[in-house]
Amino acid sequence: MDLLSKYNSVFAQDIAELGVCDLTEHEIHLTDQVPTRQKPYRVPYNLKPEMKKQINVLLEAGIIQPCKSRFCAAVLLVKKADNFYRLVADLRKLNSKTIPDIFPLPNLTEMIDDLSGANYFSTLDLISGCHQMVMHPDHTKYTAIATEFGIYEYKRLPFGLKNASASFQRLMNLVLAGLNEFQISCYIDCLVIASRDFETHTERLKMVFDRLVKENLKLKPPKCSFLQKEISYLGHTIKEGQAFPDKKNLDSIKKALPPKNIKQVRSFLGLTGLYRKFIPNSQVKKSAKNL
C-alpha cells in the first residue's frame, strides 16, 4: 500500500526508535509515604550479561535514569514468546499501597458491537506502549528499581504498575478524540479500524496515522494487520459483519475444571463473562456469585 510507505515514520523496529507522547503524564498516589523496599533478586550467572544489556537499552532509550530514591523494587528477566527477554520490575509492594485510578476502560461488548456490519478491518499495536507515555517528574521516585549495577527510576510508564492501563487508556482517548464515530476504537494499546469499503478504510487509516504522527506514537509492524476480512480481537473472531467467540478461548473454557469453591466460581465467571451474550440464561451468575 502506498499509504504505508507514506507513513513509514509511524512504525518502529525496536525500542531504540520508540516514540514518546506527553499529552498527559502518569501519576502515582499512595496511601502513605513510607518507602517500599526490596533487595535485588539473584540473577543466574549466565543471565548477568543479558541483565546489563537490558538496563543499557533502557538507559539509551531514555526510559530509565539513575536515581537515589528511598523506594526500591526488585527486577527480574522474563522470557517472551519470541525467546527474547524483557526486564520486569516487581512492583507488587508499591501497587499494594497505590490508590486506584477510576478512569474506565472501554466496554468490551460495546466495542465488538461497534464493529458489526464492517467488511474490512485493520488492527494496530503500539510498540512497548507503556514506555511511550511519560511519568510525572515528581512521581518517578516511586518506580525505582534495584539491580547489582545500580538503582534506576522510570521516566516512562513501567509495565506492571497499578493504574497503568487506566492511564494509557486516558492518553489514547485524547490522541484519538472524535474518531470513534468512524469505527475507530482503541483498547489500551491495541487499535482497530473497520469499514464497509476499501476507499473508506484507507481514509480512516490515514486519520489514525495522522494522529499517531502528531503525538509521536509508534507502531510495531509485526503486530499490525491491514485490510483483513477476518480478525481476532478482544477474544472474538470478527468476519462478515459478525462476531463469534474466539476458538482458542473456547478451548480454554472447555478444558477448565469444574469450580469447587467461591473463588473458583468467580474465576470461571471471569473466564466466560466476555461471552455472556452467547450463553442462554447467563444471568444466573448473579446468584452463583453470592454462594
- pLDDT tens track for 41-78: 998 999 999 999 999 999 999 999 999 999 999 999 98
pTM: 0.85
Give the residue among 5, 171, 151, 180 at the shortest CA–CA distance from 67.
151
- Cα separation, 40 vs 87, in Å, equals 13
Domains of the chain: 1-239 (3.10.10.10), 247-290 (no CATH)
Q: Is the pLDDT of residue 1 over 70?
A: no
Angle between helices 262-272 and 247-255 (to 10 degrees): 160
Q: Is the pLDDT of residue 100 over 80?
A: yes
Q: What is the pLDDT of residue 166?
A: 97
Query: What number of other Cβ atoms are within 10 A of residue 15's Cβ?
Result: 16
Strands 85-89, 73-79: pairing is: antiparallel
- What mean pLDDT comes out for the span 156-170? 96
Give the residue among 105, 96, 14 at the shortest CA–CA distance from 60.
14
Are the C-beta atoms of 168 and 97 separated by less than 8 Å? Answer: no
- Cα separation, 290 vs 279, in Å, equals 20
| pLDDT digit string, tens, across residues 252-273 | 777 777 787 877 777 777 666 6
Contacts of 105 (CB under 8 A, 6+ apart): 165, 166, 169, 187, 188
- What mean pLDDT comes out for the span 89-114? 92
Q: What is the pLDDT of residue 191?
A: 95
Q: What is the pLDDT of residue 218?
A: 97
Residue for grid cell 509492524: 221
